[in-house]
Amino acid sequence: MELLKISSKTRPAALAGALTGVIREHGRAEMQAVGAGAVNQAVKAIAIARGYLAPSGIDLVCIPAFVDVKIDDTEKTAIRFIVLPA
């Protein structure tokens, strides 16, 4: 399963579609966001994906966690979202 990396320019509806597909295929998804704008887009996408999955009787649970990542030889703190069906 691949890690979905989110930026502040990521479109929430497109990300929600990708998130829905990953959850249907693998039963879970992981997303990673660095910065407030990226976290905002990730949370919006999770809310939209809940709407996409609701007609199938699937609800989502999100577990956020901090992770350290290396970007351009700089250590940054990211938020990793583990998204699971409830």
**What CATH number is attached to the domain comprising 48?**
3.30.110.20
Rounded to two decimals, the pTM is 0.92
What DSSP letter does each residue of 25-44 carry, written as one string? Answer: HHS-EEEEE-SHHHHHHHHH
Residues spanned by the domain of 30? 3-85
* Count of the separate structural domains present in the chain: 1
User: Rounded CA gap, 42 and 77, in Å?
Assistant: 16
pLDDT in tens, the chain (86 residues): 789 999 999 999 999 999 999 999 999 999 999 999 999 999 999 999 999 999 999 999 999 999 999 989 999 999 999 999 98
